[in-house]
Structure formats: structure tokens, C-alpha cells
Chain A
Amino acid sequence: MLLEIVFLTIVFSHITRKNFGAVLAYSMQSLAIAMVIFNSFLLTGATSLLFIASLVLLVKVIMVPFFLARLIQRHEIKFSVSTYLNVPLTLISIAGLVAVAHSRKFAPLTSIVPANQLLLSLALSAMLLSFFLIINRKGAISQIIGILSLENSIVAFAIFAGLEQSFSLQVGIVSDVFIWFIIATALAFMIYKHFGSLEVTSMKQLKD
């Protein structure tokens, strides 16, 4: 159920034209992840999970969208920049990727925990989709979101594959992601300063 939300949010951020929409989708997604972790806390009752869930809630659901929103407001770029593929083609390729993720090929991956094979393949397709999001979108923000959601879907996969890590690792990863996000936004600011837009394709000086 929650994983579906993750998946759908990614699809949404594929097709949405508004940056706010993408950001909102991301926070929904992170919320879902947090819920998942919380859920497993309810199952196991390990307090560390609770802490991590709240950490995720704090970082990914509140702070990251907040910063992104600041960025968007600052440069009043409501509409995200164009994509390479138009919406129908995007949807088609999304479908293709989902099919790939569900194909027998990835059986060894998805059948790590045979019980939730469907969820795993869903997480896998979420990964591929967010990867595709980074490729398809020309906007810096969309790329940031894409990478973040890639991370989210990997976490989701890890959780459902029963690969949850020790407490310190989780904290490390989350803080790492957070620092990464700060730097990325800072760079995005700089890009806007130097190039006058958040269009990454405007950066074509470094060839050969």
C-alpha cells in the first residue's frame, strides 16, 4: 500500500509540470517511507526504528521540501523546465521500465524475500523510474528530486528485502543524504546565479 504511494509519486513527478508538485510528491513519498519504517517499528518494537522514522520525517518530509520550496520561491520558477520526451512517450517508457522491472529477468532480485516479491519488483521499478526521471528532466530541481527518490526507493527495497541496517548506518545514511541535499541546493543557487536558469542543458561549456 505505502510502496504504491512511493511508486505513484514518482510517476506523478514524471508527468507534473509544476515544480511544487514535484516537491510535494517527494514529501508524500518520504512520508510513505517514514510510515513504512514506523510500521516495522510497530512490528518489531525496536525504539531505534522509531527514532529513524522520526529522523526521516524531519529531514525528508519537512526540511528538504522546505528548502526546495525556498529555492523555487526565490527564483519564482513555478514551472519546471521541459523534458526530453513528451508525456505520452514518457508514460510509454515508464510502462516499459515497469515491465522490465517485473520481468522474469529480475526474479533473482525480487525473490530475495519470496513473500513480498510484488513489493520488491515495485520498488525496483521505482528505482528505474527515478533513474529515468534524472535522465528525462532538464531541470536541476527535478534531478535533485530524482536522486532523492532513487535513494528513497532503494531504502524501500532494502526494507522489504529485510536488509535493514544497524541504527548507526541508518543515521549515517540519512545525514549523508541531507548534507548532499544541502550542497546540491547550494550548487543549484550558484547555477541560477551564473546561468540565469535552472536548466542543466544550459551548461555546455565543458566539451571534448
Chain B
Amino acid sequence: MELLFLLSSFLVVALPGLLIRHVGVIEFVSLTASVIALVESFVIAFKVSSVGTYAPMSFFFVDALGAIVMLIIACVGLAVTIYSVRYLRQETLKDIIGFTRVRQYFVLLNLFFAAMFFAATANSPVFTWIFIEATTLATAFLISFYNKSSSIEAAWKYLIINSVGLFLGFFGTLLYFTSLSPIGAEGLVGWRSLVANAIYLDPLVAKIAFIFVLIGYGTKVGLAPMHTWLPDAHSKAPAPISALLSGVLLNVAFATVLRFKVMTDLVAGHAFSQNLLIIFGVISILIASLIILVQKNYKRLLAYSSIENMGIIVLGFGFGGLGAMSALLHMIYHALLKSALFLSAGTIFLKYSSTKIARIKGLLTALPVTSVLFFAGFFAITGMPPFGIFLTKVFILSSGMKTHPMVAGVVMFLMAIVFIGFFNHVTSMVFGKKPSEVKKCEEDIWLVIPPFGLIALALFLSFHLPLFLTTLLNDVVAHY
């Protein structure tokens, strides 16, 4: 029931949003929607942690993984909504955008949320596919939001590449239905029945299907070499949208891959899917880390860092065991921190109105709080204690050291390279003398609170995990 309430709240905002004539109303309703979403998803998460799975009707199905993903969407979603209210106001003040664009923004934003929640909770694989495709559709215009040629280009690449990928994923999804042909199931086929029937899959077909799924949804997850759309889209979208894209959307897509991984493992054994995951993870980390070293644009930098972190997560699931557990944790931390980083990057962009790293100097004097947040986020995302990503990285590597020592060693050094490159850019941004044209003025508190909240949450989670979260995590590790 909560689920319907939650989803409807977004749709309610989204659809009539077109009719509303007043900005404040739109902002208010979307804020309320995201607050509701947060509350509801916590309720659902508690339910799931206590009951197991939660399926109010045949159409929805929330297991532990879904619950975790929902929590991520909701937490980041609230922060992003709060942030984007102020962000858009600032931009309207600078009259970069007008009212219609603001309205369009919020409508699409809420559609995006709805699509992501649907994708996380839909029962049928095909519906999941449809809604993930729907996220692509909802965000296409958000990426081309500023209507500059470069953002159109980004949007086009995003659309085309993702659709190609997703159609491959669709094909893979369909292949899993071959398991049903013996019994010829009719009507809507849910995840659970598929998993139940997975034993009837022909192992080779399962392998092929998984390859299609991995490469297809992997495009959405941003695994190299299918990652090419990601830096463009993330750097051209408005900062809050980039935060959602790399903080949340990637995880939603990856959760789907995991669901398919289970079926494949049932017939093809763990080794196959794990090796694939390890290979793609290592490639992603390699490419991302090397490109980060010579990056010139801080939003693209963050985007590549997302690719690297997705690679780490995938690697963790490839290693399995403790690795999977900590990969999930890594997913949570990364979602929170990366969106915080993108939000503070948005503030930096508002101040300097440039995304070139070379243009940003003396952040510490220009934006004291935001720069501190940015620095903290950087330390956190590159795995500096006391932030939890350090732990997850060590755990992932430790479980990798048991099975693939060489891989673990290589990845260790790639991570070091990421740190060096990232750190190089961050120091050049934070320190130094600030350019004279940038005037030092008070920071908008509402632009600071959301990233601060996210980082604080991540910090809290890296010191202590709530009980229901640990149960969810263990549940996921048990299943996937």
C-alpha cells in the first residue's frame, strides 16, 4: 500500500505539474512528494527487514536489494529536491532559465523518480526493463536542459547508446524466458517464478543471456567500454540531475543485473558470472583511473570517478563473499558521497560559472563551507578513513586476495592512481588565490545543507550500521 502511495505521490506531482502556473507550488509539492517517498521507503525497508520480502500485489515485489535501492533513491532524492529548488532559483536569478523550464524540470524530475522507484520495485523483468528505459526517456530532456549544442550532443549520445544497450538487455531478458517454454507460463511472469524456473534454463543460453544482460544493462551501469555516454551526460546535465544519475540510477541498473546473475548462477555456476564481472570491473577501474589523471573538467572527473566506483562494486560482486557484502556497502556510500560531491560541484559552478578545473582557484576563500565539503567528499570517495569506503575497499581487496591475488594487487595500485589524479585536481581547485572577478559572499545555506547532510549520513553509516540495514545487507548477500 505504502508503495502505491509513494509512487502515486510522484505521478500526482508530475502529471498535473504541467498545469500549475506557480513555481512555489511546484517546488512545494515535489518537496512533499520526496519527503513522503523517504518516509514510505523507510517503512517498506523496515517491513522487508522484518518480514523478508514485501509484495503488496502481483505487480510489485520488494526484496532486500529492492529495499536498499529504494532507500538510496529516497535519501538522495530528498537532498536533490531540496538542492534543486535553490539551484534553479539561483539560475533564474541569473536568468539562465525561465519559468517554463523550471516547471519542465520538476515534472521530468518527478517522472524520473517515479520511473526509478518502479524499476526498483516492479515484479516482472520486462517491466523493470520498461521502466529503466523510461528513466532514459525522462532524463534525456533533463540532460539537454540548458539547450546548448554541447548538451544536445550529450543527450543524443545518452539516448542512442543507452537505447542500444537496453535493447540488448531486453533481448537478454527475453532469453531468460526460455526457461518457461516447457510449462508455457501465461500472464505476467514475476522474478520469483523466473528464479524458480531457472533450473530449466539451458546453461549455454543462460550464459549468452547473461552476457546480453550484462552488456546491455552494463551500458546503463556505466561499465567500460560501454561507459562512453556517462561523462558527457553527467557533465552536461544540471548538477542535481548529475547527482541523481551517478548516485542513484547506476545502482538501479546494477541491481537489475544482480537479479539476473542469480538465475545464471543457478545453472551456469558462480564462476562464469563472477569472472565476467571481474573482467568488466577491472577494465572500468583501469580506464577510469587513467583518464582521471589527465582530466580537465571537474564534473567529468566526478563522472569518471563514478565509473571507477561502479567498477569496484562490480568487482566486489565478482569476488563474492565478503566482497559482495562490502560491495553493497560501497554502493550505499558511493551513492551518498557522489551525489554530495555533485551537489557541491553545482555550487562551485554557480560561483565560478565554469567547469574547467584550471579556472577554479582559491575555492577555500571563495566558498569556505562548500570547499570543505568538496574536500571531505573527495577524501571519502577515494577511501580515506574514517569514511567507510576505506573499509569496503579493503574488504573487497581482501576477498579478492584470496581468489585472484594479482587482480587485487593491480586494482590496489589503480586506486592509488585514482587518488593521485583526483587529489591533484582537488588541490589545484581548493588552494591558491581566488580570481578577482569571483566575489566572496555568504553561501546559500540551502545549497550547503543537502550535501552536508549526505556526507554526514555517510560518515554516520561508516561508524555504525543500523540493525535493519545489516539484516537487509546479510539478506542480499545470502541471495545474490
Contact = CB atoms under 8 A, between A and B. Distances in A.
A191 B127 contact: no
Contacts of B181: 112-113, 162-163
Contacts of B188: 166, 168-169
B465 interface: no
A112 B150 contact: no
Q: Which of B174, B232, B235 has the most CB of A within 10 A?
A: B174
Nearest to B134: A176
Contact of A157 (B136, B171, B208): B171
Interface stretch (A14-22, A55-63, A82-90, A198-206): A198-206
Nearest to B296: A208
Interface string B279-313: 00000000000010011110010000000000000
Contact of A169 (B126, B156, B294): B126
A140 B205 CA distance: 34
Nearest to B160: A143
Nearest to B304: A208
A101 to B, nearest CB: 13
A46 B178 CA distance: 21
B291 A208 contact: yes
Contact of B205 (A108, A166, A176, A190): A108
Majority secondary structure, A binding face: helix
Interface string A164-208: 011011001100100110011001001100110000100101101
Given A151-B167, A173-B130, A208-B294, A108 B202 contact: yes
A119 to B, nearest CB: 15
A143 B202 CA distance: 34
A205 B134 CA distance: 27
B152 A154 contact: no
Nearest to B126: A169
B121 interface: no
Contacts, number: 113
B152 A194 contact: yes
Interface stretch (B8-16, B137-145, B415-423): B137-145
Contact of B156 (A140, A147, A166, A168): A140
A200 B291 CA distance: 24
Contacts of B236: 206
Given A151-B167, A154-B170, A187-B140, A109 B175 contact: yes
Contact of A134 (B130, B152, B157, B164): B164
Nearest to A124: B171
A180 B231 CA distance: 22
Contacts of A166: 186-189
Q: Which of A140, A147, A157 has the most CB of B within 10 A?
A: A147
B18 interface: no
A66 B422 CA distance: 50
Interface of A: 108-109, 112-113, 127, 131, 134, 140, 143, 147, 150-151, 154, 157-158, 161-163, 165-166, 168-169, 172-173, 176, 179-180, 183-184, 187, 190-191, 194-195, 200, 203, 205-206, 208
17 contacts: A113-B181, A140-B156, A154-B171, A161-B174, A163-B175, A163-B177, A165-B177, A169-B124, A169-B127, A172-B127, A180-B159, A190-B144, A200-B156, A203-B149, A203-B157, A206-B231, A208-B296
Q: Which 5 A-B residue pairs are closest in the complex by CB-CB distance?
A: A108-B204, A203-B153, A194-B149, A206-B232, A205-B150
Interface of B: 124, 126-127, 130, 133-134, 136-137, 140-141, 144, 147-150, 152-157, 159-160, 163-164, 167, 170-171, 174-175, 177-178, 181, 186-189, 202, 204-205, 208, 231-232, 235-236, 291, 294-297, 300
Given A108-B202, A169-B127, A187-B144, 10 more contacts: A109-B208, A112-B205, A147-B164, A154-B167, A154-B170, A157-B171, A163-B174, A180-B163, A184-B160, A191-B156
